[in-house]
Amino acid sequence: MPQPERGAGPAGPGRAGRFRSGLSRTRRWGPGTWTAIVVLPLAIAVWLLSLRGVPLDRMGDLGLLQVLPKLFWVAPALLTLGFCVAATDRRTSHGCFAAYVLSLIAVIHATPPLLYPELRYAWGWKHVAVVEAMLRHDGTVPGAGGFDIYNQWPGFFELNAVLVRAIGLESPLGYAAWAQPIFNLLMLGPLLLLYRSITNDRRLIWGAVWIYYACSWVAQDYFAPQAFAFLLFMCVMALVVKQLAPFGPRGKGTTRRRWPRGLLILVLILEAAIVSSHPLTPMMLISALLLLSLPRRNRRVVLPALAGAIVLTAVWNSTVARPYMAENLNHLIGALARPEANIWSGVARLGDAAPGQIMAAWVERGLSAGVLLLAATGFIARRWTRRTPLPLLMLAPLLPGVANAYGGEMVFRAFMFALPAAAFLIAALLFPPRKRLRVRMPVVYVLLLAMLGSLAIGYYCKEAENYFTADEAAATRYVTTRTPTGSLIISVTFAAPGLEMRYDQHQDMQIDEENLTNRRMLVKDPVAGLEPLIARAEKNPVYILLNRAQAAAVDLSGAMPTDFMGRLNSALSRSPDFTVAYRNEDAVVYRYDGPEIR
């Protein structure tokens, strides 16, 4: 008897059935979906073509905005147009919306790593240095000085050390350059879980996701503990909200009685990772869970997670992080009495910044205010959103915001933590469920395009100091690896790639962080003004690092006169007490060879 061919039987018809089902779905697509499918590859092609030959060396006080070609800006405009057209069609699939969001993430966040030869952001280099130090010492770094805070919140760094060892690398530098697209891609998971816990409406879900990415200008998504902790924070929030009742337009508002044991354990593990990685995010977590516990119907779900967050934070801060907490306790308590100063700290400090930076700062403020205003309008206009946890999640960051200034960044961090909830409230306003959108879509398109344009201004305007050349990296590598242990490395600003490499073996000092008296002395006479700084080396060798990005940082911030870097370089090159130890096109390293200064 002949045997049946391989693949015949139930599996064969199953595949055929799936094919017919997929074909049937495509036949049901409307003109909006088909138009979106055509526009998407065109937008991606335009974006990739626009990245050829970008003159990065011409960046000024508007960063990438002034060197990216006009063709580049066609890509986000096309993406926004295609997304809006797709949203007018009720039959547009999750896959089509997902493709647009992934493309948006690529255009915004993959452009810098595709253009730049080195890791973006001096802070990113700093965190790479911490991982490398923990790899060398197999854990806690002795003699860390000002970096000891990373020994007390090591979770992010230890995780990367494990990852580096597991994949056979010597440093996280290779993948750190792609941290921003990676973190934003991973953020898509908790965002979708959060929004799908509220509604099943595809347009509303993906509209909220799009608005989140189009308004996330704070740029705390680079290789840093904050990006990692924020991702975990969103995972916890998504899991908690998922356990609560459906709160959509037809939700009844009842809750599930208890956590599944495995899921609660997962939440506690995520909370432990947050607590061990970042000092601020646990406060945001506790604040969010505290507000979510206010409605009585939520408490069976929220209180176990809240108790876990409080206990884990208290235990960590009283043990591993006790040195930092003891040293800063008076400051932390004093900040509680200055809520208005905490909220506005850092907002009004434009000073003598470059005109482009002042403009960008006002655009960022306008975008933030617009987001909050639109979210409030959505809350008022769409009454069903009041039954959701999202208004509470949007308000939660205000509690830590009034308690601490966090180095002048608290208002920006508060906006970042409030944005996921605010984005959904805005989407509820712009993409109301079960309503036709074609009439209003031109207005929505202009609004989404304005959000994206504002994001680009805030996100790309400081790239003159965030971008580093290979020559700058080589000069910093020389001064951190080829100089004697204990050397003092002086720079004008923090904008140098890898200045903290081997921070346990040398000291570093930035001129723009000196007090006003010392800075005035330096401006008046750069060489004489360096003497008090050199005296702090206490007989150790002293090196001065000057590079292109530092000059850009001085121009952008206005912390020093715009000609200071040039005057300092000229003065050092003429002084017999300083010798050029290393020089290339974008950087120079001077060694102090003069008499000992006391």
How do residues 127-149 score in pLDDT, each as one tens digit? 999 999 999 999 999 988 889 99
- The per-residue pLDDT for range 445-464, each reduced to its tens digit, is 999 999 999 999 999 999 99
Confidence band (pLDDT; 50, 70, 90) for 19? very low
Stretch among 81-90, 434-443, 560-569 having the lowest mean pLDDT: 434-443
- The three state secondary structure string of 331-377 is HHHHHCCCHHHHHHCCCCCCCCCCHHHHHHHHHHHHHHHHHHHHHHH
Got the DSSP string for 467-513? ---HHHHHHHHHHHHSSPTT-EEEESSS-STTTTTTTTT-EEEEGGG
Sequence-separated (6 or more) residues with CB below 8 Å from residue 338? 405
Distance between CA 538 and CA 487 in Å, rounded? 10
CA neighbor of 480 nearest in space, from 125, 113, 169: 125
Q: What is the pLDDT of residue 558?
A: 87
Entry pTM:
0.91
CA neighbor of 542 nearest in space, from 501, 492, 583, 596: 596
Rg of the chain in Å (alpha carbons):
27
Distance between CA 160 and CA 179 in Å, rounded? 12
Positive or negative, the CA dihedral 396, 399, 402, 407 is negative
- Give the 3-state secondary structure of residue 198: coil
- The per-residue pLDDT for range 61-100, each reduced to its tens digit, is 999 999 999 999 999 999 999 999 999 988 888 999 999 9
Confidence band (pLDDT; 50, 70, 90) for 589? very high
Confidence band (pLDDT; 50, 70, 90) for 112? very high
Query: How many helices (H) does the chain have, and how many strands (E)?
Result: 28, 5
Q: What is the pLDDT of residue 344?
A: 58
DSSP state of 404: -
Question: Over 90: is that where the pLDDT of 509 sits?
Answer: yes
Percent of the chain with pLDDT over 70: 87
Question: Over 70: is that where the pLDDT of 24 sits?
Answer: no
List b or e across 244-256, with b for residues whose CB sees 16 or more CB atoms inside 10 angstroms. Answer: bbbbbbeeeeebe
Tell me if 148 sits within 8 A of 323, measured CB to CB: yes
**Helix, strand, coil percent values for the chain (each to nearest 5):** 65, 5, 30
DSSP state of 147: G
Tell me if 81 sits within 8 A of 480, measured CB to CB: no
Got the DSSP string for 280-318? SHHHHHHHHHHHHTSSGGGHHHHHHHHHHHHHHHHHHHH
- The per-residue pLDDT for range 231-281, each reduced to its tens digit, is 999 999 999 999 996 665 554 545 456 889 999 999 999 999 999 999 999
Question: Over 60: is that where the pLDDT of 39 sits?
Answer: yes
| Cβ count near 48 (within 10 Å) | 13
List b or e across 127-162, with b for residues whose CB sees 16 or more CB atoms inside 10 angstroms. Answer: bbbbbbbbbeeeeebeebeebebbbbbbbbbbbbbe
Q: What is the pLDDT of residue 11?
A: 43
Q: Which two tokens stand for residue 53?
A: 């030959």
Stretch among 24-28, 257-261, 509-513 having the lowest mean pLDDT: 24-28
Q: What is the pLDDT of residue 411?
A: 83
Q: What is the mean pLDDT of residues 401-406?
A: 63
Q: What is the mean pLDDT of the chain?
A: 89
Q: Hey, where are the domains in the chain?
A: 31-119, 468-592
Sheet of 542-547: strand order equals 507-510, 488-491, 542-547, 587-592, 578-583
Q: What is the pLDDT of residue 247?
A: 63
- The per-residue pLDDT for range 339-397, each reduced to its tens digit, is 555 555 555 556 678 888 899 989 999 999 999 999 999 999 999 999 999 999 999 99
- The per-residue pLDDT for range 522-549, each reduced to its tens digit, is 999 999 999 999 999 988 999 999 999 9
Distance between CA 559 and CA 553 in Å, rounded? 9
